[in-house]
Structure 1
Amino acid sequence: MNTILEQALRLPMPERRKLADDLYDSIVSGSDGFSLSQEQRSEIDRRLADLREHPDKALPWGDVRERLRKVA
């Protein structure tokens, strides 16, 4: 694992969420040809707000990945 990721994983959860949001914003605002429609952006914002309001509803990525592998 690289040093930057190790440092990020040691951050408290609120700071990790902020970092993830900032990284995401830097990706979608970049000029590499990746862009979202306003509708897509609104949906992502809605889902992020829901996740922040109800963090207990979230599933770990490993669980989601396993469920997807079983149905694929």
Structure 2
Amino acid sequence: MTSTGDVFEAALTLPESDRAELAHRLIATLGDPADDPDVVAAEWSIELSRRLADIEAGTTTGIPWEELRKQLKS
């Protein structure tokens, strides 16, 4: 029997798009209710409302896109 470590190492040799597809397909088999588009939309709505309230209250600030882009690349 193949171990999960062997499968993982083999998966790392795939192109990025194939790894992403594989990850998505594996996650879909877990049966998480968050896979329901209505659940996801409701959760994002709550999160976006919270973030907007934080910005309006001045308890958080944004990061300019160029700065975020630099952070993501490093």
Instruction: Give TM-score scaled by structure 2 length.
Output: 0.42
TM-score, normalized by length of structure 1? Answer: 0.42
